[in-house]
Amino acid sequence: MILKSRRSLSVVAIGALISAPLAVTPSAHAADPVDITLVDINDFHGRIDANTTKFATTVEQIRQSAGEANTLFLSVGDNIGASPFASATQQDAPTIDVLNALDLAVSAVGNHEFDRGFADLTGRVADRADFPYLGANVRLKADGSAALPASETYTVNGLEVAVIGAVTQETPTLVTPTGIANLDFTDPVDAVNDEVERLEALPAADQPDVIVAAYHEGAGAGTPDGSSLAQEVAAGGAFADIVNGTDPSVDAIFTGHTHKAYAWDAPVPGQSGVTRPVIQTGSYGENIGKVTLSVDPDTGAVAANTVTNVPRVATADLALPRVAAVKTIVDEALAHATEIGNEKVGEITADITRAFSGGSYVDGRYTGGNTDDRASESTLGNLVPDAMLAQSQGTPAPADLAINNPGGLRNSELFYAGNTATGGPNNTDGVVTFAEANTILPFTNNLYTVTLTGASLKKVLEQQWQRDKDGAVPSRPYLQLGVSDNVRYTYDATRPEGQRITSVWIDDRLIDPATSYKVIAPSFLATGGDNFRAFTEGTWVDTGVVDYEGWIEYLGDRSPVSPDFGRRAVAVTGLAASYEVGDSVSFSLPKLNLTSLGSPANTTVAATLEYGDGQTLDLGSQPVTDGASGTFTFTVPAGAAAGATIRATAAPSGTVATIPLTVEKAASTTTATAPAQVVKGETFDVAVKVAAAAGVDVAGPVRVLDGDQVVGTGELVDGAATVEVNASDLRLGQRTLTVVYGGSASVASSEATVSVEVIKGETPFTATGSTTPYGTGATITMSAAPGTTGIVYVANQLGITVGTAFLTDGAGTFRFGGTALRPGSHTFGLFFNGSASYEPADATVTVKVTKAATSIRAAVAQKIKVGQRKVLKARVTAKGFTPTGGTVVVKRGSKVVGKAKVKNGRATVKLAKLAKGKAKLTVTYSGSAVANGSKTTVRTTVVKMK
């Protein structure tokens, strides 16, 4: 394979060679490869304990084997911070002293080096350390200049080896923000590549032969987890960027931060067949990384390499000088820790630990494996928030719940078994000493009470599926938060990001997104650490309680403390966002077991559905296999329309899951039928049927509407109703009626349409003529169907229209003038012109007119002289007209004594000469063509003339 030489000729030199005469000299033999061994650790985290000298022995044995001059000892960061009691109580001074004693040459800076702030790192830490801290991607905000050295160069077996250090870009989310407020953390790969470019731009004599990168960032899983390089690169993220993006001139890549163990040979980008080591040792000095490079001293090209993790030896070799020096430091630190840490602070009844991975259930209890599975719930992870919540009640800022991040629990578990040899005389079975309790919470965070809305609290829990500030998935893609025992929540990891938390309960009540809740949390978390940025949406108050102080006080007050094996976060899969009454529901609980030591393996889970006014439905039980339940299936009952809750209880752990079930009213389908054609003015029926899911009773009102107008109503019985509609309420033509079912307590509303054609009806049109005397006005009375309205034309026998009438609500009258018709029978034709509802119609009617009755009055002088001819005046009257025509005849006895024609109701009769004596005159009106006769009498006296 062809390897690149860093000592390539400059452009000027190449030009000079081309232009110069070619000289032939004897060829020299290529130099033999030079082997250098790079020994590394990562994430040591102040491991000052019985294993420290064994760790030191492992380093020294590798040195002995490779040769002191051929070996470089380096660290990839997190040497300090999150340390056990023996180191933490002395602010990690013993750890720095141990690394000094082992002649650590250089260290990349880790995020935990910033735990106490940048000033502490560059002051107290740097002053004590005999090695430099490198951070190529740590910049000052003020001007963008370097805050830490990017690289250092060392001579190893005659070769110049440059080490470039960089830290995870997530650092601002992993430490208290105020301590690094003046720093920016840039892309680590870009920063390393920039430093490579700078080193290779140096004069040839100053260029390094070998360049290695130490990234405090790494893969999400390693070889013990069953992962491979290809899988981790395929997962993307920071590790993939490191492997694929680091400059090809970098000969080996050391990683850390994720506490994973792997030793891989990775392809060099752009160089076919060329590989380079990529290694991480796990953590806590359990392994020592060993990378051997065979380097061509003339070109700087790596001809071959080996990469491996060397397990920590089982026995320390105190004959080795550096190991002996380490033992002295460790013994003094442990003695100091024992002196202050042996105090008994509480008691426990069983192991209370973080989550483990790689173990198994033996006799129904979890055992074995490796600790610090930050992606899983644990008994210790839940106990710490219990302590926080209890402590908050005595502060000016009492909380409703507590949350703790898994990375805040470090270095130890609470083991029931005591160890008086290493833990002091008080460290007997069941006893928790000050040292043991203190190492659980080594960061000395104050407890803050943060006020968050329910919506923000849910967002905090959603952020367990991690995203950094740029939206990328970090090397630990999931962090399991611990919550206090008054909190339960359910989740479905198969749902889209941001929708995975399906319910959150506090004190057995669902949270309200708009309600404010007070959350107590470590200051690191409360200010948005570990990418839980939703905490910054609230406001915080410092309770004044330091986390480990409140924790230790809680252990003392509650002793003896027992582990709670019930999960507080329960995975639920298979549920839809909502259901309808009558729907089939299926769900399962795929992750019921804890993996803390001693956790029982659940065997069964029972469930009930709680709904309505105290109603319950037994959902039965399902077996639990490997922590996963069988599938529950049930039908949503009608009474659950307002919502329901599934309550599942696993045994023997006691895990309780309360799962809200959103239940909508059962969907309904409305169908309707009606006659295709209806007659205006008549009624017709609309047959309505409403169907819902099987077994759901369908009842409630239905309405039939024409547009916005209600034209009929009915009530469903067994899902059916007949609604009567009056076609009079409908306009003519094709009408689309809307049939609306209003729904019920358990069934949703629905509607349908039905079409009818409304046509005009044939009205039963009849007429009756009157029999009336002349002069009083004849009438024609008309009738039709109720509601009939319209014009009626009246015509004589010649077809001539003599007048019009109007039908109103099926009735009408036509009146003739009083003298319009002569006595006799008169036949007329009637024509109803039709209306909006009815077709035209006609009828024939006969009107009879009789002669009018008359009355006559007469007046004559009271005395008439014999021989005189006097005048009698007569007046003829009739109802409705003044008679004209006919004769008035006056008789005395049977003798006619005078007559006259009637004109305008009056007649003047000149009487004949009357004989002497009293006279009774009979005045008779003879009648006319239109009037009947009448009579009257008058009296007079005929006297002699004087």
Give the amino acid at 491: Y
Q: Which architecture characterizes domain 669-759 according to CATH?
A: Sandwich (2.60)
3-class secondary structure, 257? coil
Q: Answer for the pair 360, 597: CB distance below 8 angstroms, yes or no.
A: no
* CA gap 200, 684 in Å, rounded: 97
* pLDDT reported for residue 895: 96
**pLDDT one-digit tens code per residue, 597-616:** 999 999 999 999 999 889 99
CB within 8 A of 262, min separation 6: which ones?
219, 222, 223, 227, 229, 232, 278, 279, 280, 309
Q: What CA–CA distances, in Å, run from 880 to 219, 773, 855, 877?
A: 121, 9, 13, 9
Architecture of domain 569-664: Sandwich (2.60)
Residue 616 carries which side chain, given as an amino acid letter?
T
Pick the CATH number of 854-943 from 2.40.50.140, 2.40.50.100, 3.40.50.970, 2.60.40.2470: 2.60.40.2470
Axis-axis angle for helices 93-101, 52-66 (nearest 10): 20
Please report the pLDDT score of residue 761 as a whole number.
83
Collect all residues with Cβ–Cβ distance below 8 Å to 23 and sequence separation of at least 6: none
Residue 5 confidence (pLDDT): 38
Q: Please report, in angstroms and rounded to a whole number, the separation of the first and last CA atoms in the chain.
A: 185
Looking at CATH, the fold of the domain delimited by 344-487+507-558 is given as 5'-nucleotidase;  domain 2 (3.90.780)
Distance of alpha carbon 519 from alpha carbon 735, whole angstroms: 63
- How many Å apart are CA 572 and CA 650, to the nearest integer? 13
Residue 496 Cα to chain centre, angstroms: 11
d(CA 631, CA 357): 26
Nearest in space to 282 (alpha carbons), one of 394, 147, 372, 398: 372
Domain 766-850 = CATH 2.60.40.10: yes
CATH homologous superfamily of 11-22+32-326: Metallo-dependent phosphatases (3.60.21.10)
Quick one: tokens of 240? 């993939």
- Enumerate residue ranges in the chain where pLDDT < 50: 1-28
Q: Do domains 569-664 and 766-850 have the same CATH topology?
A: yes
Domain ranges of the chain: 11-22+32-326, 344-487+507-558, 569-664, 669-759, 766-850, 854-943
Q: How far apart are CA 601 and CA 623, in angstroms?
A: 11
Name the token pair of 125.
């830490």
Q: What is the DSSP letter of 406?
A: G
How crowded is residue 532: how many other Cβ atoms within 10 Å of its Cβ?
25
Residues 6+ apart with CB under 8 A from 446: 522, 523, 542, 543, 544, 545, 546, 547
Residue 30 is predicted with a pLDDT of 64
Distance CA 368, CA 332 (A): 32
What's the confidence (pLDDT) of residue 548? 83
- What one-character DSSP code corresponds to residue 172? H
**pLDDT of 885:** 95
Res 28: pLDDT: 46
What does the alpha-carbon distance between residue 486 and residue 398 come to, in Å, rounded to a whole number?
Answer: 14
Q: What is the pLDDT of residues 858-874, one digit of tens each?
A: 999 999 999 999 999 99
Task: Say if residues 255 and 232 touch (Cβ distance below 8 Å).
Answer: no
Return the exposure string of 332-342: e unless at least 16 CB atoms fall within 10 Å of the residue's CB, then b.
Answer: ebbeebbeebb
